[in-house]
Amino acid sequence: MCKTIDHVLVPGTFDPITCGHIDVVRRARRICPKVTVAVAESLGKNGVGTTFSLDERVELARCALEAEGLADVE
């Protein structure tokens, strides 16, 4: 028996979130009723850390997704 996938996770540092990231989320949303974007802390990215803080990256992702009509994405 085949099961359907009802929830997918899109992980990343999103430093910052880009049009490509949003495209991946949009495509995931088309095939799955529930999509969660997980913003990673990633203290050691490229040996220097991220450009934006975790809180800033979460807020940037939230605003970008909402502006693209993806406010139902967690």
Query: In the chain, what are the domains?
Result: 7-67 (3.40.50.620)
pLDDT digits (tens, 9 = 90+) for 15-46: 999 999 999 999 999 999 999 999 998 776 66
C-alpha separations of 65 from 14, 44, 45, 61, 68 in Å: 12, 26, 23, 6, 5
pLDDT digits (tens, 9 = 90+) for 48-60: 788 899 999 999 9
Is the model more confident about 3 or about 13? Answer: 13
The rounded percent of the chain whose pLDDT value lies above 70 is 92
Task: Check if the beta carbon of residue 69 is closer than 8 Å to that of residue 30.
Answer: no
Res. 1: pLDDT tops 90: no
pLDDT at 42: 79
pLDDT at 55: 96
Instruction: Give, to the nearest 10 degrees, the angle between helix 19-31 and helix 54-67.
Output: 60
